[in-house]
Structure 1
Amino acid sequence: MSQQSSTLRSAARRTGGLIAASALAVSLAACSTPSAPASGGEGETAGDSTGVTDTTVTIGTHTPLTGPAAAGYSSISAATNAYFDYLNDQGGVNGRTIEYIVKDDGYNPANSQTVVRELVQQDEVFAILNGLGTATHQSVLDFLDQNSVPDLFVASGSTSWNQPETYPNTFGFNADYVVEGAALGQYAADEFPDAAVCMLGQDDDFGDEFLEGLEMALGADGLTEVQRYSVSNQDVTAQIGALQAAGCDIVTLATINGFTALAVGTAAQLGWFPQWFASSSGADYPTLVGYLGEDVAPKLLQGFTGTNYLPMADDEWVELFREINTEYNGDAPFDGNTIFGMSVGYVFAEALAAAGENPTREALIEAVQSGDLVGNGILPLAFGPDSHAAYLGVGITTVDQGVQDYVDATYEVRDGSVSSVDRQPVPLSGAAVPGA
C-alpha cells in the first residue's frame, strides 16, 4: 500500500461531525456579510480579505462546461475541485477549506464577462483561479484589475498574462505560445535539420505567438508553408491540401485538441502522413484518442510530438493524482487535463499557504511574485516581481506504442532566444498538502 493511498483512506474515514461542521461553516459564510478588509492588528498587514472567513476561502473560475471547447477542457475544473476536496479532507490550508465556484461561460467572451462579474460582485470571491481561454479571459482582464482581484494562473498560453506593470494581479500558468513554438522549432532543427517545416494554426493570438516562436528558432524564412484557420469553420481540407502540396515533412500545430484531431484525420483521408508537432494545448494523447477513435488513433499518432511542462506517465505526482481522481472525482477518465487541473490547484494551495494564517489579497499576490513557489513542473516556476509567467521552458514529448512521455530534449526561452536545458522535475513532498 502506497503512502498516498494510506493518506487517502485516512481522509475518507474522517468523522461525520467534521463534515457537518464544515457544511455549517459554509452555510453561515454564504449568509453573512463579506469579510471586511483586515484592520492590521499587531503582527498583521492591513489588506483586503474579501472571500475569507475563519474557516473557508472562496475562489472561482470561468470555464467552458458547454460549447465548442467543452469536450477538450471541461474536465479541468472538475480535477481542480477534486484536488481541493482532497486537500480539505487533510485540513485545508492554515485551517481553512477551499470552496471553488465553477461557472460555465461556453467559451464565449460575453458570457465570461457575465459570470466573472457574478463571481466578484455577488459571490465575493477571494480570487479568480485558472480562467480558461485567451479571448474569453482577455475580456475580463480590465474588470479584474479595476477591482483589484487576484487573477491567478490563467489557462491559456497567451503572453497577455505576463504584463506586471499593466496587470499587476494577473499571472499565467501555461508555458506561453512563443515558448512552445520556439521549443518545437528548435527540436525540429536539432533532430530533423533537412526537414521542410510548416505550420497550421488559429488565425488569432494563439497562431501569431506560436509563429513568432517558430521563427525565433528557425528564422524568418525557416518555414516552408504557413496555413491559418478560423475555429468557427470545422473544415481544414483546403489548409491541409496546401500543406501537402508544399511538400511539408513536419507540420507544427497551434491548435486545440479538437482541431489537432481534425487536422490529423483530414490528412489521413487525403492519404498524407507528415510528422506532427503540436502545442500542449492540442497534444494530449488520451484526448486525441477520444476524438479519433481507439482503432485508428494509435496508428495515426505514432511518433506524434508535443510539448509539456507538468508531470506525466510514470511519475509520483501522477500516481497521487490518479488516486485523488478515483476517490474524489468519481474515477473520471484520467488524462493530461486531469494532471493540469490538479497541478493548478496545488500551486494555488502553495500560494495560499505562503500568504499566511490571515491571508489578504495583497499577501496572496506578494506570495506568488516572491519567487518562492515551487509547483510541480519539470522546470522551476518563473514567477517574480518582473515576471508573471509560470514556465519559461517546456519538455518535448512523443507518443510511442500508445504511451506519451518525455524524450531527452527540454528547451527554455529567455531574452528572445531558445536554448537547450536539463529537466529539473520537482519531487512530490507532503502528499501534495502545502504546509503539512
Structure 2
Amino acid sequence: MRTPAKTSRRAAAAAAAAALALAGCTGQAGEEEAAPTPGVTADTVTIGTHQPLSGPAAAGYSAVSAATSAYFAYVNANGGINGRSIEYLVRDDAYEPQLTNEVVTELVEDEEVLAIVNGLGTPTHSVVLDYLADEGVPDLFIASGSRTWNQPSLYPNAFGYVAEYTTEGAALAQYAVEQEPGANVCVFGQADDYGDGILEGVEAVMGGNEITQIQTYTTSMTDVSVQLAALKAADCEVNILGTINGFTALTVATAAQMDWFPKWYVSSSGADYPTLVGHLGEETAAQLLEGMVCVNYLPFGPDDEWTALFRQINDEYNEGAPFTANTVVGMSVGYLFAEALAAAGDEPTRESLIAAVESGALQGNGIVPLSYSDVNHAGYGTVGIMTVADGVQAYNGTTYRVEVGQVTEVEADPVPLVNGGIPAG
C-alpha cells in the first residue's frame, strides 16, 4: 500500500521546514550537521513491530514479541549494543491489514523508529511493504514464509526470516518419499498463501499427479471432519500439514475420533510440541503425536546451549511464560537484530543497518548460518527434520537445503553460542 495522504502532508511539511533551516544557514555546506538518524540517540535505539496480540491469531503468536522483548531486556541489562540499549515498541494489529497500516504508520512517523523488525503475517505485512520501501525504513526479518520479501531489486530494504513455505513443503515431501516409499501422500493445508506454499513445495518434489488427495480449511472453521473423512477415504498414509498449531491439534484429535491414525508430517508453524500439549493435554498428546515429523531451522532441543540460555532469559525477563518454539523464534529474532545493530557501527544509520544485513557477515543462531547478501534477502533455506519420540521433540540428523524446488541433503552446521548470546560490535 502506498503512503497515506497524511504521510504526504507530513513529508511536505518536513521538506518545507528543511528548506527554511537551510535558508538560515550561514556556514559552508561542508559545515552543516547531518540530520539525526530516526530512532537513534546517544544511548538508545528504538525499533518497532506489528504483532497479533489480540484476535484469532493471538494464540501462540503473541508470545513471539514478548520473547523478543525479554531478550532485549537481557541485552540491555548487560550493557546493550555498542553502548546503546534497545527499545522495542510492539503494536497490536489483531492480524487485520487495515490496523497494520495504522500502527506501522504511527511507528514510522510519530515514534520515528529506526526499523520495523519481525512484522508478522503475509496479508498484514503486505499492506505496508511499499510504504516502508518508499520511506527507506529497514524492514527486517519479516515473520512470514512468503517469497514476496525476497525481491531486492523491488524492496532493497526488506528481508525475510522464516523458512519459506515452499521450502518446508519440499523438505517434508522429500523425507516422506525417502522414509515411506510408495505410500499414499496427501496434503491438508490452510486455504491461503501458507497452505498454497506448502502444497507448491510438495508438488516440486512429487509432482501434482502423485499427491493422492488435497484438502484445505479456513481459520474460521471449528470442524474439519469433512476434510479428514475425504483424506481417510482416499487411504492417505502420510498427511503433510500446512496448519497452524490449533488446527494441527484439531486435525489429529478429529482423526483419532474417526479411529484413523496416519503419519503426520507438519510444517514448523503448526508443530510446536509444547503448544500442542497445551491444546490436547499431556496424555492425549503423548498418544497422538508420537512419531510426528516436522521441520525447523532454529535451536530447539533438551541439550542445546541456545535453548538453555533462552530458558534462563525467559525465566528472568519474561515472567516465567511458557517456553515454546515461539519463545525460541522471538529470542532468535532479537539476537539477529542485535547482531545486525552491532555490525552497523558505533553510529548506526538506516543505510548502515541494511548494509550490515547484506554484508553476509550475519550468522544468526540456526542449525546453519544465514546467507543474506545483496541478491538474497531470504532467511533460512535449509531446514532440519525433527521427530517426536517419548514426548521429546528433537532433530533426528536429517537436514535439507532447498533451492528452486531441488532438495539436497546436507550436514547441519549449528551456530555456536558465544559471549553469552550478546553480539559484540
TM-score by length of 1: 0.88
Q: Which residue does the alignment assign to 1:382? A: 371
> Does 1:268 find its partner at 2:256?
yes
Aligned-pair distance for 1:114?
Answer: 1.2
CA separation in 1, counterparts of 2:283 and 2:36? 54
Q: Which residue does the alignment assign to 2:325? A: 336
1:193 to 181, 190, 211: 181
1:372 to 343, 361, 364: 361
Give the letter aligned to residue 399 of structure 2: T
**Mapped contact 2:363–2:371 kept (Cα < 8 A):** no
Structure 1 SS opposite 2:372 = coil
> Does 1:320 find its partner at 2:314?
no
CA separation in 1, counterparts of 2:263 and 2:237? 6
CA separation in 1, counterparts of 2:47 and 2:247? 31
CA separation in 1, counterparts of 2:69 and 2:93? 17
CA separation in 1, counterparts of 2:134 and 2:310? 36
Aligned-pair distance for 1:386?
Answer: 0.8
CA separation in 2, counterparts of 1:89 and 1:308? 30
Give the letter aligned to residue 93 of structure 2: D
> Does 1:94 find its partner at 2:82?
yes
Aligned-pair distance for 1:47?
Answer: 7.9
CA separation in 1, counterparts of 2:289 and 2:63? 22
Give the letter aligned to residue 373 of structure 1: L
Structure 2 SS opposite 1:73 = helix
Identify if the C-alpha distance between structure 1 residues 248 and 57 changes in structure 2 by more than 3 Å, giving closer, same or farther: same
Structure 2 SS opposite 1:58 = strand
> Does 1:286 find its partner at 2:296?
no
> Does 1:417 find its partner at 2:416?
no
Structure 1 SS opposite 2:214 = strand
Give the letter aligned to residue 266 of structure 1: T
Of 230-239 and 331-340, more deviation after overlay is shown by: 230-239
1:51 to 39, 54, 57: 39
Structure 2 SS opposite 1:364 = helix
**Mapped contact 2:170–2:405 kept (Cα < 8 A):** no
1:184 to 155, 160, 172: 172
CA separation in 1, counterparts of 2:377 and 2:72? 24
1:206 to 181, 185, 194: 194
CA separation in 1, counterparts of 2:35 and 2:80? 22
Aligned-pair distance for 1:48?
Answer: 6.8
CA separation in 2, counterparts of 1:47 and 1:238? 60
Give the letter aligned to residue 270 of structure 1: M
Identify if the C-alpha distance between structure 1 residues 48 and 177 changes in structure 2 by more than 3 Å, giving closer, same or farther: farther
TM-score by length of 2: 0.91
Aligned-pair distance for 1:69?
Answer: 1.2
**Mapped contact 2:162–2:380 kept (Cα < 8 A):** yes
CA separation in 1, counterparts of 2:82 and 2:288? 48
**Mapped contact 1:59–1:129 kept (Cα < 8 A):** yes
Find runs of 4+ consecutive structure 1 residues off by over 3 angstroms: 45-48
C-alpha distance after superposition, 1:105-140 (max 9, x if no partner): 111111111111111111111101111111111121
Of 405-414 and 215-224, more deviation after overlay is shown by: 215-224
Give the letter aligned to residue 178 of structure 1: T
Structure 2 SS opposite 1:295 = helix
Q: Which residue does the alignment assign to 1:429? A: 418
Aligned-pair distance for 1:382?
Answer: 2.0
- 5+ long unaligned stretches in structure 1: 1-32
Q: Which residue does the alignment assign to 1:257? A: 245
Aligned-pair distance for 1:222?
Answer: 2.0
CA separation in 2, counterparts of 1:134 and 1:202? 13
CA separation in 1, counterparts of 2:141 and 2:275? 22
Aligned-pair distance for 1:215?
Answer: 1.0
Of 219-228 and 368-377, more deviation after overlay is shown by: 219-228
1:145 to 115, 119, 133: 133
Give the letter aligned to residue 427 of structure 1: P
CA separation in 1, counterparts of 2:61 and 2:341? 25
Aligned-pair distance for 1:46?
Answer: 6.8
Give the letter aligned to residue 182 of structure 2: D
CA separation in 1, counterparts of 2:254 and 2:282? 17
1:392 to 381, 397, 400: 381
C-alpha distance after superposition, 1:40-84 (max 9, x if no partner): x99xx9787111000100001111111111112111101000000
CA separation in 1, counterparts of 2:369 and 2:200? 24
1:57-76 superposed matches below 5 A: 57-76=45-64
Give the letter aligned to residue 147 of structure 1: E
1:172 to 150, 153, 160: 160
C-alpha distance after superposition, 1:157-177 (max 9, x if no partner): 111111111111111110100
Aligned-pair distance for 1:101?
Answer: 0.4
Identify if the C-alpha distance between structure 1 residues 54 and 192 changes in structure 2 by more than 3 Å, giving closer, same or farther: same
Aligned-pair distance for 1:283?
Answer: 0.7
C-alpha distance after superposition, 1:135-188 (max 9, x if no partner): 111121111111111110011111111111111111111010010000000000
- 5+ long unaligned stretches in structure 2: 1-13, 19-28
Structure 1 SS opposite 2:208 = coil
Query: What is the total number of aligned residue pairs between the two structures?
Result: 396
Give the letter aligned to residue 204 of structure 2: M
What's the % identity of the aligned pairs?
59
Structure 1 SS opposite 2:417 = coil
Aligned-pair distance for 1:234?
Answer: 2.3
> Does 1:363 find its partner at 2:314?
no
**Mapped contact 2:44–2:85 kept (Cα < 8 A):** yes
1:396-407 superposed matches below 5 A: 396-407=385-396
2:113 to 125, 131, 146: 125
Structure 1 SS opposite 2:47 = strand
